[in-house]
Chains A and B, each alone.
Chain A
Amino acid sequence: GDSVTQMEGPVTLSEEAFLTINCTYTATGYPSLFWYVQYPGEGLQLLLKATKADDKGSNKGFEATYRKETTSFHLEKGSVQVSDSAVYFCALRDSGNTPLVFGKGTRLSVIA
């Protein structure tokens, strides 16, 4: 079945450091790919998405490119802030309104 693998956390960075969170996937078809963010005690919010190969999703300084050849969707940000501290989830959906398949999440802590 479909699956998503994310790098294990926690990740701790200093403010203004470069962030990469790796995400690879296995899917039978041509899935849409998503990054969600969860702040403490809250639900998940969509951060960005990409629906076909070579698409780049971007939002709030975060970017991820859909790489079909490497089945990857790595999340990057050039300069993190303390307010980016959260848990980040990579997810995919293969078709229709089937449930998203999530990775286990990566906790990011940014220190001033």
Chain B
Amino acid sequence: DGGITQSPKYLFRKEGQNVTLSCEQNLNHDAMYWYRQDPGQGLRLIYYSQIVNDFQKGDIAEGYSVSREKKESFPLTVTSAQKNPTAFYLCATSGGDGAKNIQYFGAGTRLSVL
């Protein structure tokens, strides 16, 4: 079944803890993205990667880190430096060339602080 798998669906973080959100895709897409969604603020871009072993900061990268060692995977680590991590996190992918390409989204991970 083709698509984007985000796990876990719900995640709880303790004070001072790093947590990692998983994003896996089998769409063979080159580009992958991480967004954060807070109520009333729409989607804000955290990091994106247009090719394996390369990634760029988005608008709110502070307190987050990523890696892109495989085409299929783009995990996001929320570090202890991110003081307000409670949000809904969305992973997306895009393939092919050109601005007309659709961005596909996973079902999201909801992160809360204990």
Contact = CB atoms under 8 A, between A and B. Distances in A.
B100 A49 contact: yes
B109 to A, nearest CB: 10
Interface in B30-56: 30-31, 33, 40-43, 45, 48, 50
A43 B90 contact: yes
A32 B101 CA distance: 9
A46 interface: yes
B98 to A, nearest CB: 7
A43 B107 contact: yes
Interface in B1-37: 4, 6, 30-31, 33
Contacts of A43: 4, 6, 90, 105-108
Interface of B: 4, 6, 30-31, 33, 40-43, 45, 48, 50, 58, 90, 92, 94-108
Interface of A: 31-32, 34, 36, 41-46, 49, 51, 89, 91, 93-100, 102-105
